[in-house]
Amino acid sequence: MSLDTLPHSPRAIIQLDIDYFYAQTEEVRDPALKDKPVAIQQKHIVVTSNYVARSFGVGKLELLTEAIKRCPNLVIIDGSDITRYRRASRLIFDLVRKVLNGGRGGIDDDVDSDKAGWTVPVEKLGMDELFIDCTELIRRHLATLIDNDDVNNNKIVVALGNGASFTYLRDQCAAGSHQIGSFDSETPCQQSKYLRISTHLASFLRSHIRAALGYTTSAGIAHNKLFAKLAASVRKPNAQTLLIAGVDAANFFDNAALRALPGVGSMVRKTLQAEVERVEREQREATEEEEINRFGSLGGGVAVSADASDGPYKPSPLTVAHARTLIPLSRLTTLFPPKLGTHLSALLHGHDTSPVLASTAPQQISVEDSFPHCTSPTEVAHRLHALATLFITRLHEEEHDLQTNTWRRHAKTVRLTTRLRQLNIPTRHVRAWMDDRETRSAPLPVDIWDVSMDVDKRAKCLTETTLLPLFRKLVPVDEPFDCTLLNVAATGFVKGRVEKNIRAFFSENTSGNTAAGPDSPLIDHAEGHNGGEQAEMLDRTVLAQLPPDIREEVLRDYRDRQATRKRPPSSLSKLPSPPPPPPPPAKKNKSTPPTEQQNPLLRLWGKNQQHQQQHQRMVQPSTTQPIPALAVAKRESEAHGGGRGQGITAKDTADDDAFACPRCQAVLHVWTVEQHGC
């Protein structure tokens, strides 16, 4: 890592890595495990272990049977449910953000007033890694020192959020910081100052996390994210490392394994490994051919470049230096898409300008369950109830603040996604359900945000009132079906207080006899209703204390119920209310023809007839009466067989027993309708 990787302006990045996160979470929950070998199991694999277990040779992603052979006293903890790990990760992230930016520490919480307009970016990577860009924090701090002419003080205080602060010594790194490289005359002065102050901030954050939550962390400090991540893995656990651009840092970077670089996945690494082996093989064959030709020309004999005792060829370990030396940029852009190839070339040379992006709140929170078959509505209801329970638990993990017992955000919409298997396709040949996903959404019941209710009760409410109706809209349960996936997601998150369900203001009186007298604050919605049916009551006192918009919504619901039951409204003269809605349309009676008020088409038809009558008065002589479209007319029976309507005058249409044909406008008598051929 040469000095040409340094940015044009000073920059300081801190990477915090929580040591053996899953296993340490279990140690924090049970301190008696600290001195015992602990492994976290998921299925039949050890996903992580503490350092006591690692001293026995237990590694990550190792078969559980092999781990037990290496360490018979291994304490195995099931880590299939990662609920507690999510919550611990959230607590650490909120704590760091709260210390740096103030507020309550949540992703969407407001910061301190003195930091209005800027914050220290904190990027969360996975569950156990944080990137912190402290460049702007240090720049503002140094500008304050210059303005106050306080640069000569030996011990300097840096103020953070919520009244927190840390101190540092000028031109010194934090005590206990491991260092790769050194500050010399070639290192820019400002860059050196930024990195030194960053070591004190990293030490302060690590101490604060351990004191508040009990977790040890490792940290890496450098001028970009790439080197900060590599530096954090040098001294583990519970240590920090500063990486300074120079000769020592370049050697460290060249010997780093390619798999340690962020963004280099297994497929990319396999492609690079194959390319390195191909280039080395061609170089080896060219060298052997050159030696054979050279020795053959001297003595006519044949010489080989390698002794047979060397054994078969073994590829060199894939390091950063190997990949950078043997694979140029032109070849990288051939092996990979041009954008990816250019990015890999920059990483292999130590250039990383990617910013630290402040983590934002997720746009949705979802839980999912997949299974081979689900073919009955009863099984669907059982699975949806289990998902609803997990769904509400996940919302508590992500959005509920235990300290204040409030919700950071709440969602407005719930989305259900299903995946069906096509029954007419053999499943052993085709995965017919691969892309057959359908989705429906509905408003999320506000009852699930009521923390006073049991989780199982809320899950039952969500399943019965929302999820099962959504499933019936997606899947025709009356026909055979085979469901293979269910996904429940919360979307449309907003901040603020959870709105109360206005139905909660209504109480039910199943007896039909209310105890409210004429002066009672209860407003009866069912005055004069049968005693055997439910009578709904509205609390006037609670209603008067509501905000105007909610009060109008409650009253609107009140009047809608009254209009549906066709009862006169109760007296609400003391309460401000919106104008009553128009009465609902009366039910159509088959025995009575519709009136113009009930059928708007009749009203339009009547206007059209008036227009035609006015037009006929204008074009016909005044002595002739107009012929309305449906007016009663007179016609001779002999004229009906010839030209329809010929020789008919206004005078002939005055009888009340004749009318015009709606198709051809021929004037017919009642007794000639059957003979009419139209």
For residue 282, the model assigns a pLDDT of 87
Of the pLDDT bands very low, low, confident and very high (cuts 50, 70, 90), residue 502 is low
For residue 653, the model assigns a pLDDT of 41
- Mean pLDDT for 312-317 is 62
Q: What is the mean pLDDT of the chain?
A: 76
**Is pLDDT above 80 for 666?**
no
Sheet with 129-133, side-by-side order of all strands? 122-125, 129-133, 13-18, 217-222, 240-243, 177-180
Per-residue model confidence as pLDDT tens digits over 207-226: 999 999 999 999 999 999 99
**Is pLDDT above 80 for 585?**
no
**What is residue 614's DSSP assignment?**
H
Lowest-confidence segment of 54-68, 342-356, 433-447 by average pLDDT: 433-447
Give the SS3 label for residue 523: strand
Of the pLDDT bands very low, low, confident and very high (cuts 50, 70, 90), residue 457 is very high
Cα(340)–Cα(147) distance, rounded to whole angstroms?
A: 45
For residue 113, the model assigns a pLDDT of 42
Higher pLDDT, 356 or 578: 356
Of the pLDDT bands very low, low, confident and very high (cuts 50, 70, 90), residue 446 is confident
For residue 13, the model assigns a pLDDT of 95
**Is pLDDT above 50 for 41?**
yes
Sheet with 506-509, side-by-side order of all strands? 506-509, 535-539, 522-524
**Is pLDDT above 80 for 458?**
yes
For residue 569, the model assigns a pLDDT of 45
Cα(529)–Cα(15) distance, rounded to whole angstroms?
A: 70
For residue 263, the model assigns a pLDDT of 79
Cα(223)–Cα(191) distance, rounded to whole angstroms?
A: 8
Cα(219)–Cα(229) distance, rounded to whole angstroms?
A: 8
Of the pLDDT bands very low, low, confident and very high (cuts 50, 70, 90), residue 622 is very low
Indicate the Cα dihedral angle 537, 542, 545, 549, nearest 10°: -40
Higher pLDDT, 628 or 546: 546
Of the pLDDT bands very low, low, confident and very high (cuts 50, 70, 90), residue 613 is low
Q: Provide the residue type at 298 as one letter.
A: L
β-pairing, 400-401 vs 406-407, is antiparallel
Residue ranges and CATH numbers for the domains of the chain are: 3-254 (3.30.70.270), 259-296+317-352 (no CATH), 365-495 (3.30.1490.100), 502-565 (no CATH), 624-678 (no CATH)
Record the pTM. Answer: 0.64
Higher pLDDT, 156 or 606: 156
Compute CA distances 20 → 226, 421, 481, 512, whole Å.
Answer: 21, 41, 45, 64
Per-residue model confidence as pLDDT tens digits over 107-131: 555 544 445 567 899 999 989 999 9
**Is pLDDT above 70 for 241?**
yes
Cα(347)–Cα(259) distance, rounded to whole angstroms?
A: 12
- Mean pLDDT for 69-80 is 92
Could you tell me how far CA 85 lies from the centroid of its own chain?
19
